[in-house]
Chain A
Amino acid sequence: MYTPNESDETLVGRCLAGDQAAFEGIVVRYQRGLFNVALRLLGSYEDARDCTQTAFVKAYEHLDTFDASQRFVSWIYRILRNECLNALRARRPSEPVSLEWAAAGIPSDSLMAFERNRAVQSALLGLTADYREVIVLRHFTELSYDDIAVTLGIPVKTVKSRLYSARQRLGEVLAEWRVER
């Protein structure tokens, strides 16, 4: 059992003491954030589901290596990011990615929202992995610049400059869609 107000550190401590059920609190807390990051990085609903599950399992299995002086949120996103990069490397270049999931949660009469979602996702997939990940972590999570820097293992200044470049590139890809709108 766990309570929503228990901190990450408390839940991790309980897991390390053998209380497996405490990890459910961590999964519930981070499932939406991790899944959406994986979805935006990979573009595939199935791959995102698999990578998110595996990231949680790996986090649990390696919980004893977690450095308590760091933020847990950065650590778990780092595991997910590595898992997604592995999935991208294993993917064949010609493998098609279905973006039908981009319509999820959007009212059927809101064609514009659906098109925008799909355009953004297509544009994201057109970026290199290092540009894509910094955009996704910044715009689809609550991570701070410091957290993103720890997650990606790069300095904060590099996070900011890479984000700037990535948005410039994303803007170019989206320009056509914006003009048409």
Chain B
Amino acid sequence: MNERERDEPLSFGEPDEVARMLGEVQDVDPPADLVGTVMARISSGAAARARRVEPVQFSGGKVMAKKVLWSVMGAAAAVLIVLKIAGYPPKSEGTEGTIGAAQRYQAQQISDADVKLTDAELQAFLQSDAFRKLIADKAVREALANKDVQKALSDPAIRAALASDDVRKALSDEQVRHALADERVRRALADEQIRKALANDEARKLISGDAVKKALSSEDARKAIANEQARFLLANDQVRFLLANDASHRVLTSDVMAQALAARSFADMLASPALIGMLSAPGAADMLASPALIGMLSAPGFAQALAAPGFSAAMAAADAAAGARTN
């Protein structure tokens, strides 16, 4: 008989004789020295591993186990970074002159806006769920080696944002790590919609763009980034090309445009290949720069008109024509 076919009877408990006998068997006490022996082996583990792994010859002539070297450096760096961010060890008065050079060197790596935690806060942070997840995540540990991330971690908003799975995952993206150097990006991460949007590949690409970083200063623009349609639009090469143009950049990152982008129908319209093609034409960006035109485009009445079946049909026809010309 197949093992799987015998599954059902077990779901009714295990009152048979064998189960009863097994239940009567008593535990055996573990060796009294087990805990001590394990902890002693762990303490001497680094030295033992260093002897086991293949030595690597470095150019300076010193022999060191490569794996151990990287492990120790990684762990030490992570701990030092966390402690530095937390303001440990506390500075004692009267010793400033003796360690002045070291302090200047550290200040280059961690911004002056370091947040100093008290003993209780440090303990709470080290035992927090956010810290556990943070340190258990390989991508984050690697990210901790990045100068921009170290700087970003001094920001309480970022530490709070790290409780978000999306943000931690996004940290594995080089572009995001780099973008964290920008205060506008860090501030934007306080926005839950932005944190969620980071789960999206396109959004991560966008956040590294200068134009988008500028736009992140605006609450409306942040909403636009969180808008799926707007992300789709901004992922378009031609739209990004437009953003490189001063005039169209001003328009596309303006508050009015950001508000308009937050409206799904408007984003849908801008995503139309026909319209994007039109905007790419010389002079079109200047035309779009007209506040009056943007005002008209973002007016509720215009949005209603966009939603009308006739308009959709006209845009579809224009898209078809644009496609035919391309082919």
Contact surface of A with B, Cβ cutoff 8 Å: 6, 9-10, 12-14, 16-20, 23-24, 27-28, 31-32, 35-36, 39, 45, 49, 52-53, 56-57, 60-61, 64, 66, 68, 101-102, 104-106, 113, 116-117, 120, 135, 139-140, 157-158, 160-165, 167, 170-171, 174, 178
Contact = CB atoms under 8 A, between A and B. Distances in A.
Interface of B: 3-7, 9-11, 14, 16-19, 21-31, 34-35, 37-39, 41-43, 45, 49, 75, 78-79, 82, 126-127, 129, 131-133, 135-138, 141
A57 B138 contact: no
A117 B25 contact: yes
Given A24-B39, A139-B19, A157 B127 contact: no
Contact of A16 (B4, B39, B127, B136): B136
Q: Is the interface of A mostly helix, strand, loop or mixed?
A: helix
28 contacts: A10-B132, A13-B126, A14-B126, A18-B78, A20-B42, A27-B35, A28-B35, A31-B30, A31-B34, A31-B35, A49-B30, A53-B34, A53-B38, A56-B38, A56-B42, A68-B133, A105-B27, A116-B21, A116-B24, A117-B26, A120-B21, A120-B25, A158-B4, A161-B6, A165-B6, A171-B16, A171-B17, A171-B18
Contacts of A157: 4, 7
A72 B29 CA distance: 22
B188 to A, nearest CB: 27
Contacts, number: 142
Contacts of A104: 28-29
A13 B27 CA distance: 30
A178 B39 contact: no
